[in-house]
A and B are shown apart, each in its own frame.
Chain A
């Protein structure tokens, strides 16, 4: 079996398994199990089998998988706020990228004097811009724990401040969406500026190693993939716990009738802020894992279109179901990988058509398809109520109220 076929069957299996979900609770643990299982198998196949073996999984596939899983985590982060709380964030890429930059700064410092100019203190881009010393905000980033902390703290704090301002002032609906977009757009412009000290357009790249392990070694890549899978599983389980807790139910209530929730005594802005911060943190973790695996972080990650794409993954997968977001991200990105290689001139037609078709034919995304396969009557609409994570069938469209009322 070639890698392509392997890939294909891999996804076939995944989709098949998902389609067979019997009950939602089981489904979720099944998802985690598949996720970890597949990752483990792939890792073993990569490390233990010789490259000639038909079952060998190439490092390319490993890194690709790692990237997909990061995207899946990001999609899940968006789904938490969008699907469950009706906060359509068109700027989650910002948190992802900030997390990524945090990790990128650490990796950059790890290069040490192995850069092209051999400067032990300054990253290359600072050398050729004639910077004399490390800016204050780069201090301490050579410590892994500190970088990690910052990579969480900064996006978390940004989400907190932004959320606190916006939710307290009751900015909702499209107004909120466009503001998140403005946020990421402003950050993109700022990071493009070379004066910012983050490498401008070129961003941070040419990483060498992480915690002393060579980033180009297969072992490190596999470890990163496993870490990603593990963290995805972890955040998935945590997120599921959250959305299934009363907090999750309050959040859905807020999505559908925020004033009502307030009159019941819920300080809705508080809920929204915390959920937003949590989601931003998940996005940041995804970003942190993403950077060492793809090897570059640049302001393009802040681009509003990137964030919109994430929303599209979620919508394709099925808004309001956590596994839907994951499946959507995996599917769309896999499609992108295949299409760009198989039909480089026309892949946008294919992808565009996919989006249109999914929207028109699968109102609840792929998750809706899976659910439909699960429930006995096929043409059911709006009565899916078996609890779990299926908050997607909300009759009320949060944005409608804004745009239409």
Chain B
């Protein structure tokens, strides 16, 4: 082929369009930029955009379409875990290459996927550490949308908190359906739970659309960040752009990137983004940075491998470093996850985050959690001689439990 094709597999309609459209635009911007730099291997890049419409089986179908019909060399895509799970068998069958840019629950590592978002140890654990050490939180509300990412994260956190000596009584877990919009009772419960005389915080894995009504209810019931701070893992600048943040000032989020991070690269990226979208008010967020890193690493790996062949690029990817937007350098590990810094930010009245805490160095993403019984012995390592995604360090074998 005379171009290198880049598949973009993000929902542009349906419930997930609200989050994913931005990532499609980000990839398009990256492709543009790369082409301005002269493309890759002397060829131009060509983006192939499809709309899987927030429909999970459609994700699989579109992946197949991208790989067999369009013959793309790489795919940037997916947001929800279920979409990724749907795509996974197809991408493995056809030996494609995908970059997944969203924080997720971990417990996975595929040869054909690079995970540039955070895994729980790059987001949830540091956030809890911060709450516990800096804000002296003793009582915990783990509130999440009822699906796998919150469930897993909360399981990890429960185990982690209990290991830190937190009493079971001081942990309240609450799950709500997708798009839950009536938060009155739950917020009232949180208030009551927090009224028992111990410093309380909410760790929120509430997803997407449910957040706006949740925060609105928090604001209206007068739960302020000083009383009961809420730290969220799915609320970034983009989500905040849909809320009046003045009553929410001081609530927290944990990410590997904030738009407010002071760095030259970030400044440039933001400018470029605003120019690309033609909207001065457009914000950037963590999954965009993840896409940015993923894309550039892929470009670097292709140049290193001097081909877009998946197996070659996959091997070339491991160990690649690329400056992230927060001033440091991100590194792709053997388990296809990144090493990245972790930031905690407080919501400001302009919808931005103020970084109030950051890890000292980089945190390497874990594919398998150390806090879950089923996976604490597992690691992923895609280099020889192990070369698998679920190597059991006890049984010294691939394939989960090992036989």
Indicate whether A and B are direct neighbours in the complex (CB within 8 Å).
yes
CB distance from A90 to the nearest CB of B (A): 18
Q: Is B85 within 8 A of A206, CB to CB?
A: yes
Q: Is B89 within 8 A of A216, CB to CB?
A: yes
Residue B130 at the A interface, CB < 8 A? no
CB distance from A351 to the nearest CB of B (A): 10
Q: Is B51 within 8 A of A347, CB to CB?
A: yes
Closest residue of chain B to A207 (Cβ to Cβ) is: B89
Q: Is B86 within 8 A of A130, CB to CB?
A: no
Q: Is B148 within 8 A of A202, CB to CB?
A: yes
CB distance from A131 to the nearest CB of B (A): 10
A393 to B212, CA, bound (A): 48
Q: Is A63 within 8 A of B85, CB to CB?
A: no
User: Which A residues from 23 to 66 make CB contacts under 8 A with B?
Assistant: 58-60, 63-64
A128 to B104, CA, bound (A): 14
Residue A340 at the B interface, CB < 8 A? yes
Contact of A295 among B60, B373, B374, B401 (CB under 8 A): B60
Chain A residues in 8 Å Cβ range of B93: 216
CB distance from B302 to the nearest CB of A (A): 25
A188 to B180, CA, bound (A): 14
Contact of B374 among A128, A194, A344 (CB under 8 A): A128
Residue B82 at the A interface, CB < 8 A? yes
Q: Is B146 within 8 A of A192, CB to CB?
A: yes
A348 to B93, CA, bound (A): 31
Chain A residues in 8 Å Cβ range of B56: 203, 296, 298, 300
Residue A125 at the B interface, CB < 8 A? yes
* 9-residue interface stretch from B61-69, B183-191, B252-260: B61-69
Interface bin, chain B: 35 or more
A115 to B151, CA, bound (A): 19
Chain B residues in 8 Å Cβ range of A4: 69
Residue B247 at the A interface, CB < 8 A? no
Chain B residues in 8 Å Cβ range of A354: none
A338 to B178, CA, bound (A): 29
Q: Is B53 within 8 A of A205, CB to CB?
A: no
Given A113-B400, A113-B403, A115-B400, the answer on whether A340 and B68 have CB atoms closer than 8 Å is no
User: Which B residues from 41 to 78 make CB contacts under 8 A with A?
Assistant: 49-53, 55-58, 60-62, 64-65, 68-69
Chain A residues in 8 Å Cβ range of B222: none
Chain A 192-218 per-residue mask, 1 if CB under 8 angstroms from chain B, else 0:
111000001111011100000000100
Residue A247 at the B interface, CB < 8 A? no
- Count chain B CB atoms within 10 A of each CB in A63, A67, A129, A295 and give the residue with the most: A295
Residue A345 at the B interface, CB < 8 A? yes
Given A118-B390, A128-B374, A194-B146, the answer on whether A203 and B82 have CB atoms closer than 8 Å is yes
Chain B 124-156 per-residue mask, 1 if CB under 8 angstroms from chain A, else 0:
000000000000000000000011100110010
Q: Is B401 within 8 A of A113, CB to CB?
A: yes
Residue B12 at the A interface, CB < 8 A? yes
Q: Is A194 within 8 A of B50, CB to CB?
A: no
Chain B residues in 8 Å Cβ range of A341: 50-51, 62, 65
Closest residue of chain A to B399 (Cβ to Cβ) is: A118
Chain A contact residue count (CB 8 A cutoff): 44
Contact of B61 among A63, A116, A128, A216 (CB under 8 A): A63
Residue B90 at the A interface, CB < 8 A? yes
A300 to B54, CA, bound (A): 10
CB distance from A111 to the nearest CB of B (A): 11
**Would you call the interface of chain A mostly helix, strand, loop, or mixed?**
helix
Residue B389 at the A interface, CB < 8 A? yes
User: Which A residues from 88 to 117 make CB contacts under 8 A with B?
Assistant: 113-117
Q: Is B50 within 8 A of A340, CB to CB?
A: yes
User: Which A residues from 328 to 353 make CB contacts under 8 A with B?
Assistant: 337, 340-341, 344-345, 347-348
Q: Is A296 within 8 A of B12, CB to CB?
A: no
Chain B residues in 8 Å Cβ range of A337: 61, 65
Chain B 12-25 per-residue mask, 1 if CB under 8 angstroms from chain A, else 0:
11000000000000
Q: Is A202 within 8 A of B81, CB to CB?
A: yes
Closest residue of chain A to B70 (Cβ to Cβ) is: A341
CB distance from B193 to the nearest CB of A (A): 22
Contact of B148 among A59, A193, A200, A345 (CB under 8 A): A200
Chain A residues in 8 Å Cβ range of B374: 117, 119, 127-128, 130
A59 to B81, CA, bound (A): 25
Q: Is A189 within 8 A of B65, CB to CB?
A: no
Contact of A344 among B49, B60, B64, B81 (CB under 8 A): B49
A340 to B12, CA, bound (A): 9
Residue B195 at the A interface, CB < 8 A? no
Contact of B57 among A119, A295, A345 (CB under 8 A): A295
A67 to B56, CA, bound (A): 13
Residue A238 at the B interface, CB < 8 A? no
Q: Is A295 within 8 A of B86, CB to CB?
A: yes
Q: Is B58 within 8 A of A340, CB to CB?
A: yes
Residue B88 at the A interface, CB < 8 A? yes
Chain A residues in 8 Å Cβ range of B88: 205-206
Closest residue of chain B to A193 (Cβ to Cβ) is: B146
- Count chain A CB atoms within 10 A of each CB in B52, B60, B85 and give the residue with the most: B85
Residue B107 at the A interface, CB < 8 A? yes
A125 to B390, CA, bound (A): 15
Chain B 361-403 per-residue mask, 1 if CB under 8 angstroms from chain A, else 0:
0000000000011110010000000000110100000011111
A130 to B152, CA, bound (A): 10
Closest residue of chain B to A208 (Cβ to Cβ) is: B89
Contact of A117 among B147, B148, B178, B390 (CB under 8 A): B390
Chain A residues in 8 Å Cβ range of B64: 59-60, 63
Residue A396 at the B interface, CB < 8 A? no
Residue A257 at the B interface, CB < 8 A? no
A194 to B82, CA, bound (A): 13
Closest residue of chain B to A59 (Cβ to Cβ) is: B68
Q: Is B147 within 8 A of A344, CB to CB?
A: no
A334 to B64, CA, bound (A): 16
Q: Is B151 within 8 A of A67, CB to CB?
A: no
Contact of B152 among A114, A115, A128, A344 (CB under 8 A): A128
Q: Is A128 within 8 A of B85, CB to CB?
A: no
A59 to B61, CA, bound (A): 11
Residue A15 at the B interface, CB < 8 A? no
Residue B237 at the A interface, CB < 8 A? no
Q: Is A201 within 8 A of B146, CB to CB?
A: yes
Chain A residues in 8 Å Cβ range of B152: 128
Residue B108 at the A interface, CB < 8 A? yes
- Count chain A CB atoms within 10 A of each CB in B55, B57, B178 and give the residue with the most: B57
Residues of chain A whose beta carbon lies under 8 Å from any beta carbon of chain B: 3-4, 58-60, 63-64, 67, 113-119, 125, 127-130, 189, 192-194, 200-203, 205-207, 216, 294-296, 298, 300, 337, 340-341, 344-345, 347-348
Known: A127-B374, A205-B85. 19 other contacts (CB 8 A): A4-B69, A60-B65, A113-B399, A130-B155, A192-B146, A192-B177, A192-B178, A193-B146, A194-B151, A200-B146, A201-B146, A202-B85, A205-B88, A216-B89, A296-B60, A296-B86, A337-B65, A340-B52, A344-B49
Q: Could you show 5 A-B contacts with beta carbons less than 8 Å apart?
A: A117-B375, A117-B390, A189-B177, A193-B146, A194-B146
